[in-house]
Amino acid sequence: MSIRDFIPEWSVPRQIKGADRWALGPAAQSRHQAQLTPRTKKADRVVKSVCPYCAVGCGQRIFVENEKITQIEGDPASPISRGRLCPKGSATRSLVQSPMREYKVKYRRPYGTEWEELSLDEAMDMIADRVIKTREETWEDEDEEGCHLHRTLGFAHLGGATLDNEENYLIKKFFTAMGAIQIENQARI
Ligand code: SF4
């Protein structure tokens, strides 16, 4: 590039001649940059949502183009997060569209070295059978002094951060009804 071509491309003359003396705006912009447009500009619609990853519940703006998510950003209107998302919340597009997302139940048998694919029905039946069997084998009706216990210490429940209030309410009721006393949720910030 000759010096004649270079000078107009250089930010310093624009800084000196124009209003943007500190080169915080247009003076610092190259011709290439000026032609760039954010991919959010092409979105067909923007859907408001809440980040599902943890109990903070940051507000999200989800940009959709051709029924595919193209970008997820913090929602400035959210009184909780005021436009911010942490790295997990910023990556939630992958939660929906990552090619690595699993859609099948994976099971590794005791002493197995490979993952097997199970149908959801088969996996649910296996879980139900084990819960019933464990409950029968570990049920404690009363203690040695005859006080009622009506419980099992044979299984516990640990909820994930993507469960909402209503789901946690139902899980607590269900596991308490089965006699479990170790019921927790991982989400606590
Ligand atoms: S994971 Fe991050 S972005 Fe999502 S709700 Fe929690 S703090 Fe907010």
3 CA distance to ligand 1 centroid (A)? 50
Residue closest to 48 by CA, chosen among 87, 21, 74? 74
Give the pLDDT of residue 164.
78
| CB-CB contact of 88 with 53 (8 Å) | yes
**Rounded to 5 degrees, what are φ and ψ at 137?**
-75, -25
Residue closest to 51 by CA, chosen among 29, 74, 68, 70? 74
Query: What is the model's pTM?
Result: 0.65
Domains belonging to the chain, first-starting first, are 3-34 (no CATH), 45-97 (2.20.25.90), 118-188 (no CATH)
Mutating to test ligand 1, I would choose from 49, 50, 82, 86 the residue with most ligand atoms within 8 A of its C-beta, which is 86
Give the pLDDT of residue 39.
87
Ligand 1 pocket, residue 59 CB under 6 Å: no
Give the pLDDT of residue 15.
86
Give the span between the Cα atoms of 177 and 122, in whole angstroms: 24
Ligand 1 pocket, residue 89 CB under 6 Å: yes
Ligand 1 pocket, residue 84 CB under 6 Å: no
pLDDT in tens, the chain (189 residues): 677 777 777 888 888 888 888 888 888 888 888 889 998 999 999 999 999 888 788 999 999 999 999 999 999 999 999 999 999 999 999 988 899 988 999 999 999 999 999 999 999 999 999 999 999 999 999 999 999 999 999 999 998 877 878 888 999 999 999 999 999 987 654
